[in-house]
């Protein structure tokens, strides 16, 4: 067996957390993980958030984010234990033997410097190449990664290029100093599904052509199946299962791995059409001070107690549609009818009942709640505002709602910081329900959640819909979510609805070009899928 | 037009409008004082005839808006009038003192600005460790001392304990540059002590704020040394807040150092202004007020322009 390039032996990583009002707690983030990567091979690390994937990835550079400490075990890189290396030796290996590609390239590039200066920085400062050599290599890499105008691409600033391009530029930055190992930390997670596939293909091509070894971290098993030779499944900082990609995908042994492989178990039968509760008719909208219509002649209907899924990539106008319906952005043309009455275009012109019957849930539950209010206060607010309930009556209603979202009374006096991501989103759902709305707009409500947690939220939403007969306008970029929850679907592309109808019709061929692109871009859980789909492409994505 | 150029032109135009408004406030403020210039010159015992004659001569019988326009128009042409108390041409009197003021401010700035930024970077680099604590402690002490206390302390230390300098900072026309430098050494030291802390702390805070960004972690993962990370990646993104505080301090060095001037007997604008305020010499007060306002507004426009240019999103639009 060949000597491994990187080998973790019994790795232990700890951190100290400082919960408000309590004594500091010691947390074990990674516990007894042993795994190795051979030269030129790709190891996939997979698990939910909190599984310790990124922490292990950064440990390959002997780097602990924040107060994270590498407290035990051996991190052997090229034959030496880097866990105990001194800072100067670590600086010498970082950016030279091991490089890093982060989830958000947009945040990871310095906004004040040209891309080229950042891409070649390591090669030059480590004395590996002269400036001219490094620039020539960077241009080659830009070309290899399929970036537009590779010769002049580096002269641009980060804000001048798209998210997908930045992610490729970061890959170029990682490959420029010819490292032995690259750590890819969720490099495509923040991208649209149609862009993700292209970046994924570019990364895979670069890995193959340069022969570099890689740690590929993701929560999406279908993604890692496309690039990895081996997969390590993690949970709560511990190893669950390790094997070849084929074995993990096709023959998982552990129960947890099987759950990951077969996530999205929801079966949702489409409901029949009925008279709409919400009608959006010929709506065109633009933002103030711009000359560009973000929505172009959009017409959709939604029946009571049903779900309309609005899908599309970022910039397609999905969230703008929500802003128009809620009155935050008055449309330049078109009309919105809700529960039999025409809604005023502007928020100021709407009655209290208009506001009450139309609620919203957001992607980031964190930022949608006041961190200094308890769950009881947060959910109680609309109860008091819309129904005038106070004191015991209000508290009783809050408790009922907490039961409805399957959380129980014990949470009423907790603060958002004491809740998990899924629980926070449940509280936001309860807050929306408290107003007893006819329609809830759900804007990417499961996008920030782990698959298993997201699954729970979707099930809850479906149950609540069956009980309360509330309609959902469900904005998402995730086709799997759409399949799970929708009755009707509107596919949006560049501000227009390109395909619209009952779920069974929209998801049945023949497709228009864009819907085909969108559907075919969703990673499938089988090895070799990426190559097939890239070969069969009809069009490029808009966000590329 | 390039958006940067547009923004810069806008800022300058706004500054000019602001300066015009300030000139009006200065004029009205001095107008609003009880009595008038004629009364001030002739004193309480003047006869009504003499007062009327003098008012006629000084043009005080004209309506206020006409006098304002006349005053502003003359000021724009460099004619600031004559001082009432001694009949000296104000523009001439100010010219040399303004030179002294700018010389002192320039020397203090040349030392304090690089020193403050350098110390701020070091403090940020060793955040929470002893270099940070020493720097913060020392600069906090110097800014907490009233200027005259700091001045007398410096005089005592550097003329009595270690007799290196003269306690009085007299400068004359015709002095060589080097001589002048020696003369202002003590007031410069005091001014540096006064302005250092503010700029240092802002530099430190701005850098530490930027250090939270993801691209700083990227730089660390490139194997750059901590000082390289700060210098190449943090500082370029922290320029705007630093510049605004530096400029505020520069403005202070020009317009706010009268105490230091008095302690060291340095003949500059602040002292000139205070002298003539006590004598109720309104044309002088107006003229110096206008110059101070011009310096303040001009420097702040400069800060705005630098911040605009430092922003890559404005410099290189999509």
State the pLDDT confidence band at A162, using cuts at 50, 70 and 90: confident
Interface size, chain A vs chain B, as Cβ–Cβ contacts under 8 Å: 75
Q: Which residues of A touch B217 (CB under 8 A)?
A: 65, 102, 108
Report whether A236 contacts A197 (CB < 8 A).
no
Q: Which residues contact A406 (CB under 8 A, 6 or more apart)?
A: A426, A460
Q: Which of B223, B229, B316 to mutate to test the interface with A (most CBs of A within 10 A)?
A: B223
C-beta pairs of B81-90 under 8 Å, 24+ apart in sequence: B81/B283, B81/B287, B82/B283, B83/B276, B83/B281, B83/B283, B83/B284, B84/B37, B84/B40, B84/B41, B84/B279, B84/B281, B84/B282, B84/B283, B84/B284, B85/B276, B85/B279, B85/B281, B90/B283, B90/B284, B90/B287
How many independent structural domains does chain A possess?
A: 2
Which tokens is B301 given?
């426009």
Using CB atoms, which residue from A90, A108, A112 is nearest to B312?
A: A112
Report whether A173 contacts A124 (CB < 8 A).
no
Per-residue model confidence as pLDDT tens for chain B (318 residues): 677 888 889 989 999 999 999 999 988 887 777 767 777 777 777 788 888 888 887 777 788 888 889 888 888 888 888 887 788 888 888 888 999 999 999 999 999 999 999 999 999 999 999 999 999 999 999 989 898 899 999 999 988 888 888 777 778 777 888 888 888 999 999 999 999 999 999 999 999 999 989 999 999 999 999 999 999 999 999 999 999 999 999 999 998 888 999 888 888 899 899 888 888 788 888 889 999 999 999 999 999 889 888 888 888 877
A21 domain-assigned: yes
Residue labelled with tokens 């020392």: B138
Query: Is residue A323 located within the same domain as residue A461?
Result: yes
Neighbours of B108 (CB within 10 A): 28
State the pLDDT confidence band at A544, using cuts at 50, 70 and 90: very low
Name the residue of chain A whose CA is nearest to B240's CA. Answer: A112
Query: Where among A261, A296, A311 does a domain terminate?
Result: A261
Q: What is the CATH number of the domain that holds A236?
A: 3.40.50.300
A235 domain-assigned: yes
- Terminal alpha carbon distance of chain A: 41
Neighbours of A414 (CB within 10 A): 15
Q: What range defines the domain where residue A363 resides? A: 278-371+438-508
- CB atoms B220 and A100 under 8 Å: no
Residue labelled with tokens 């409901």: A271
Name the residue of chain B whose CA is nearest to A117's CA. Answer: B232
- Terminal alpha carbon distance of chain B: 15
- CB atoms B217 and A156 under 8 Å: no
Q: Chain B: which residues have CB within 8 Å of chain A?
A: 213-215, 217-225, 228, 232-233, 236-237, 310, 312-313, 316, 318
- CB atoms A99 and B221 under 8 Å: yes
Report whether A525 contacts A262 (CB < 8 A).
no
Query: Is residue A233 located within the same domain as residue A313?
Result: no
A190 domain-assigned: yes
Q: What is the pLDDT of residue B236?
A: 92
Using CB atoms, which residue from B214, B232, B237 is nearest to A108?
A: B214
A77 domain-assigned: yes
- Distance, in Å, from the CA atom of B274 to the CA atom of B292, rounded to the nearest integer, reads 13
Is A19 a residue whose pLDDT tops 90?
A: no
DSSP, collapsed to helix, strand or coil, labels residue A234 as strand
Judge if ipTM > 0.85.
no
* Residue, of A209 and B318, whose pLDDT is higher: A209
- CB atoms A102 and B213 under 8 Å: no
Helix extents (H) in A176-244: 193-210, 221-227
Name the residue of chain B whose CA is nearest to A93's CA. Answer: B223
Query: Is residue A134 located within the same domain as residue A231?
Result: yes
A169 domain-assigned: yes
Sign of CA dihedral B109, B110, B114, B120: negative
Helix extents (H) in chain B: 3-32, 37-42, 48-58, 64-76, 90-125, 130-144, 147-155, 177-211, 214-221, 226-228, 239-255, 258-264, 269-278, 282-310, 312-315
- CB atoms A108 and B313 under 8 Å: no
Query: Is residue A478 located within the same domain as residue A503?
Result: yes
**The domain at B90-280 falls in which architecture?**
Orthogonal Bundle (1.10)
């Amino acid at each position: 067996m060949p000597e491994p390039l990187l080998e973790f032996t019994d790795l232990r990583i700890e951190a100290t957390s400082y919960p408000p009002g309590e004594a500091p707690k010691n947390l074990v983030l990674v516990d007894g993980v042993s795994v190795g990567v051979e030269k030129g091979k790709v190891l996939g690390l997979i698990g939910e958030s909190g599984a310790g994937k990124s922490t292990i990835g950064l440990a390959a550079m002997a780097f602990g984010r924040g107060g994270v400490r590498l407290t035990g075990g051996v991190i052997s890189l090229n034959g030496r234990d880097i866990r105990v290396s001194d800072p100067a030796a670590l600086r010498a290996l970082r950016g030279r033997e091991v490089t890093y590609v982060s989830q958000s390239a947009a945040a990871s590039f310095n906004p004040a410097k040209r891309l080229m200066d950042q891409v070649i920085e390591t090669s030059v400062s480590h004395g590996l190449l002269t400036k001219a050599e490094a620039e020539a290599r960077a241009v080659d890499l830009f070309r290899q990664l399929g970036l537009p105008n590779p010769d002049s691409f580096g002269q641009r600033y980060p804000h001048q290029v798209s998210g997908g391009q930045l992610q490729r530029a970061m890959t170029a930055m990682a490959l420029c100093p010819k490292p032995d190992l690259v750590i890819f930390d969720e490099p495509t997670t923040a991208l649209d599904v149609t862009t993700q596939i292209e970046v994924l293909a570019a990364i895979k091509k670069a890995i193959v052509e340069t022969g570099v070894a890689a740690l590929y971290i993701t929560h999406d098993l279908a993604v890692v199946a496309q690039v990895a030779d081996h997969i390590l499944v993690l949970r709560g900082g511990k190893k669950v299962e390790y094997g070849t990609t084929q074995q993990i995908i096709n023959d998982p042994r552990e129960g947890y791995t099987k759950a990951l492989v077969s996530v999205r178990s929801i079966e949702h039968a489409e409901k029949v059409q009925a008279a709409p509760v919400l009608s959006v008719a010929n709506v065109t909208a633009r933002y103030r001070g711009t000359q560009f219509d973000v929505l172009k002649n959009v017409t959709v209907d939604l029946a009571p107690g049903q779900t309309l899924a609005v899908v599309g990539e970022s910039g397609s106008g999905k969230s703008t549609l929500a802003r128009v319906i809620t009155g935050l952005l008055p449309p330049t043309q078109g009309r919105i009818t809700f529960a039999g009455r025409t809604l005023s275009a502007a928020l100021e012109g709407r009655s209290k009942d208009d506001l009450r019957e139309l609620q919203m849930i957001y992607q980031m539950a964190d930022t949608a709640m006041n961190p200094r209010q308890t769950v009881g206060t947060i959910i109680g607010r609309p109860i008091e505002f819309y129904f005038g309930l106070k004191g015991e009556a209000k508290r009783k209603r809050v408790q009922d709602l907490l039961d409805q979202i399957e959380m129980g009374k014990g949470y009423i006096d907790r603060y958002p910081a004491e809740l998990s991501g899924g629980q926070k989103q449940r509280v936001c759902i309860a807050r929306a329900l408290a107003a007893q709305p006819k329609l809830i707009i759900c804007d990417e409500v499961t996008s920030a959640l782990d698959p298993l947690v997201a699954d729970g939220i979707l099930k809850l939403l479906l149950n609540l819909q069956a009980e309360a007969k509330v309609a959902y306008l469900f904005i998402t970029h995730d086709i799997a979510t759409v399949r799970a929850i929708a009755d009707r679907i509107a596919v949006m592309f560049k501000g227009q609805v390109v395909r619209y109808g009952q779920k069974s019709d929209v998801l049945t061929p023949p497709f228009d070009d864009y819907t085909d692109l969108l559907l075919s871009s969703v990673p499938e859980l089988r090895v070799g899928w990426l190559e097939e789909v890239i070969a069969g492409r009809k069009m490029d994505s808009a966000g590329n | 037009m390039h958006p940067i150029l547009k923004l810069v032109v806008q800022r300058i135009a706004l500054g000019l409008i602001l300066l015009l408004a300030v000139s009006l406030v200065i004029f009205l403020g001095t107008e609003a004082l009880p009595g008038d210039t004629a009364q001030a010159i002739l004193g309480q015992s003047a006869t009504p005839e003499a007062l009327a004659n003098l008012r006629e001569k000084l043009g005080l019988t004209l309506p206020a808006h006409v006098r304002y326009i006349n005053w502003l128009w003359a000021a724009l042409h460099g004619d600031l009038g004559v001082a009432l108390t001694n009949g000296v041409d104000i523009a001439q009197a100010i010219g040399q003192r303004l030179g002294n003021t700018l010389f002192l401010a320039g020397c203090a700035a040349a030392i304090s600005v690089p020193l403050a930024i350098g110390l701020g970077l070091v403090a940020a680099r060793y955040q929470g460790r002893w270099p940070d604590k020493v720097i913060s402690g020392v600069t906090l002490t110097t800014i907490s001392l009233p200027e005259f206390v700091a001045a007398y302390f410096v005089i005592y230390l550097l003329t009595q304990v270690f007799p290196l300098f003269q306690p009085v900072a007299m400068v004359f026309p015709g002095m060589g540059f080097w001589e002048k430098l020696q003369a202002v050494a003590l007031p410069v030291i005091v001014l540096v002590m006064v302005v250092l802390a503010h700029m240092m702390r802002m530099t430190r805070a701005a850098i530490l704020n930027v250090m939270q960004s993801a691209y700083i972690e990227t730089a660390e993962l490139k194997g750059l040394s901590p000082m390289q990370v700060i210098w190449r990646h943090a500082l370029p993104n922290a320029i705007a807040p630093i510049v605004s505080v530096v400029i505020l301090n520069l403005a202070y060095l020009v317009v706010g150092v009268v105490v230091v001037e008095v302690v060291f007997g340095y003949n500059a604008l602040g002292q000139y202004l205070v002298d003539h305020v006590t004598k109720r010499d309104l044309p002088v007060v107006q003229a110096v007020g206008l110059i101070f306002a011009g310096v303040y507004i001009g420097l702040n426009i400069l800060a705005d322009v630098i911040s605009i240019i430092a922003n890559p999103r404005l410099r290189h639009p999509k």
